[in-house]
Amino acid sequence: MTRLIPDWLLYIVVIAAVVFVLFRLDERADAPEALPGQNQAGAFLPPPSDFDPQVLVEVGPVATSMGSAFAISEDGWWLTARHVVEGCKRVGLVVSRGAAAPVLDVKPSLTSDLALLRTDGAPAALVLDTSERHFQVGQRAFHIGFPQGRGGEAYSRLIGRETLVATGRYDAREPVLAWAERGRTSGVRGSLAGMSGGPTLSASGQVIGVTVAESARRGRIYTAAPSSILRLLGVEHVRAAGAPAPRLSPENYGQEADDLRRSLAVAQVVCVAPEDAPES
Average pLDDT of the residues in 115-136? 91
pLDDT of residue 13: 37
Average pLDDT for 47-72: 91
Q: Can you give the pLDDT at residue 231?
A: 96
- Which of the two residues, 190 and 207, has the higher pLDDT score? 207
pLDDT band with cut points at 50, 70 and 90 for residue 216: confident
Lowest model confidence (mean pLDDT) among 34-48, 58-72, 255-269: 34-48
Of 9-23, 116-130, 218-232, which gets the smallest average pLDDT? 9-23
Phi and psi, residue 24, nearest 5°: -120, 120
Q: Check: CATH 2.40.10.120 for 7-28+50-276? A: yes
pTM of the model: 0.85
Is pLDDT above 60 for 16?
no
User: Is pLDDT at 250 greater than 80 in this prediction?
Assistant: yes
> Between residues 14 and 202, which one has the greater pLDDT?
202
Flag whether pLDDT at 74 surpasses 60. yes
Q: Residue 144 pairs with which residues in a beta bridge?
A: 153
Residues above pLDDT 90, as percent of the chain: 63
What end-to-end distance do the CA atoms of the chain give, in Å?
Answer: 22
User: pLDDT at position 79, please?
Assistant: 97
Residue 48 has pLDDT above 60, yes or no: yes
The domain locations on the chain are 7-28+50-276
Calculate mean pLDDT across residues 183-202.
92
Q: How large is the average pLDDT for residues 152-166?
A: 95
Mean pLDDT throughout 104-110?
95
Q: DSSP states of 10-57 as a string? A: HHHHHHTT-----EEE-TT--PPPP-TT--S--SBPPPP-TTSPEEEE
pLDDT at 278 over 90: no
CA dihedral (193, 215, 240, 172) positive or negative: negative
